[in-house]
Amino acid sequence: MKTRKNIALYVQRVLNTMIVLSVLLSGTSFGAKAAPASAPAAALDDASDFLFNDDFNGWTIGGGFIYLAENCYAAGETNYSLKRRPLAGGAAVTIESGTGKCNRYQGMAADDSGVYYYNPSGGLLEYVPVTAPNGPPVSLVLDGVAPVTTDLVLDSERIYWSNGQSEIYAVSKSGGVPLLLMTAIGAVRDIEVAGNDIYWIDDEGVWWADKNCTPTSCTGEQLFAVQHGNSFVLARTQPFNNMHRTIYLWHGATIGTRQLMRLP
C-alpha cells in the first residue's frame, strides 16, 4: 500500500536521479567545483509549499502545466482531486474532485492537448482537455486492458502503455479499440516513444522497434542486455550531434550495485 511517506521518499529519489542526469549530460565531473546557483525564477518562488505538501500522491508535467492528483488508498479515505498549476507560476486550479471510488489517477501523462490517466475504479482511460479544465473527463473504454506497471506515454496521435506483463498496447487519442502493438520477452518495466521509435526495458534488457510496424510482425531489437533483471526507469534526452537515435538513460541494478547507464 502506498503511503504519503513512501511517496515523499519516491519523489526525493526522482529528484536525486534528475540531479545526477543533469550532471552527466552537462559533462560536469562529480569532483569539479560547482558554479554558484542562480536565483530561482520569481514566478516559482512560492511553489515549494504546493508542490511538496501532503495533498497529492501522483503528478506529471506537460503543456506548460504541472498536474497533481490526490488518490485514496486507505480505508476511510474517500476524497479525490486533480489539480493543475502553470509552470510559469500562478494559482492552482482544481479541475476535478469528488468522493467515493477515488483510486482514479494512475500512470498520468500530459501534453499540449491535456492530461491523460487511467482510472482503475471505472476501468477507463480518461483525459481532461486543456481547453476544458472544468468539464467532465473524456472517457476511453479499455475493454479490460489495464495499464499497471508503466506510466502512459504520448505522441501526437496515440497513447502507449504496458499492461503489467509483456504486452505493449496503443490506442488513438480520439478513442477506439486498444491495439496490441507487440509482445516483449519479459515483463515490461517502462516504455518511451521518440519519433517513429518505441523503446522499452524488461528483465532482459533495453529494446527498440518501429512504433508503426504491423502488430502481427512487430519484432524488437535488443540494444543492451541487462543482467540480474530488476531494471527500471527509462528516460530519454535530446539527440547528441545529430545522431539518428535519441540518447536513453536508465537505472539498473546488479547484485548489491546500483547503476546509472546510457545507451552508447
- The total number of structural domains in the chain stands at 2
Same domain, 201 and 95: no
Q: What is the mean pLDDT of residues 203-210?
A: 81
Residue where the block lists cell 527509462 = 234
pLDDT of residue 47: 43
Same domain, 94 and 172: no
In this predicted structure, the answer to whether residue 92 has a pLDDT above a threshold of 80 is: yes
Same domain, 116 and 82: yes
Whole-model pTM? 0.69
Q: Is residue 33 part of a domain?
A: no
Same domain, 13 and 128: yes
Same domain, 2 and 129: yes
Q: What is the mean pLDDT of residues 156-181?
A: 87
Domain extent, residue 50, equals: 1-25+42-141
Q: What is the mean pLDDT of residues 21-35?
A: 36
Same domain, 137 and 175: no
Same domain, 260 and 133: no
In this predicted structure, the answer to whether residue 175 has a pLDDT above a threshold of 80 is: yes
d(CA 13, CA 183): 30
Same domain, 72 and 127: yes
89: Cβ contacts below 8 Å, ≥ 6 apart: 41, 42, 43, 44, 46, 47
d(CA 73, CA 80): 10
Q: What is the mean pLDDT of residues 145-157?
A: 79
Same domain, 18 and 126: yes
Same domain, 54 and 3: yes
